[in-house]
């Protein structure tokens, strides 16, 4: 998985978090498969099509915080992730 400080794509813009779909019991294979990019300041009360309940790994960048909810429309239990 990339280090939190490395979340910068080729064009140099900042990324706050990356969510990955592929799951593996081996750490070096966890951050694989499709990637959902979370940009700074984004607010998504619904997961994009095909992502609900399927994110298996995530990396949160430095100076960023990712808040997730267990139910759609920001309802249910919440959890906060940071670098």
pTM for this predicted structure: 0.82
DSSP annotation of 11 reads: T
Residue-wise pLDDT for 28-43, tens only, equals 778 888 899 998 889 8
Nearest to 65 by CA among 51, 77, 48, 80: 80
Is pLDDT of 77 > 80? yes
Which distant-in-sequence residues (6+ apart) come within 8 Å of 3 by Cβ?
59
């Amino acid at each position: 998985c990339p280090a939190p400080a490395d979340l910068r794509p080729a064009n140099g813009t900042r990324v706050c978090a990356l969510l990955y779909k592929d799951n593996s019991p081996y750490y070096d294979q966890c951050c694989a498969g499709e990637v959902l990019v979370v940009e700074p300041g984004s607010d998504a009360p619904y997961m994009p099509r095909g992502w609900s309940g399927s994110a298996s790994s995530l990396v949160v960048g430095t100076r960023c915080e990712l808040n997730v909810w267990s139910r759609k429309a920001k309802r249910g239990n919440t959890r906060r992730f940071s670098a």
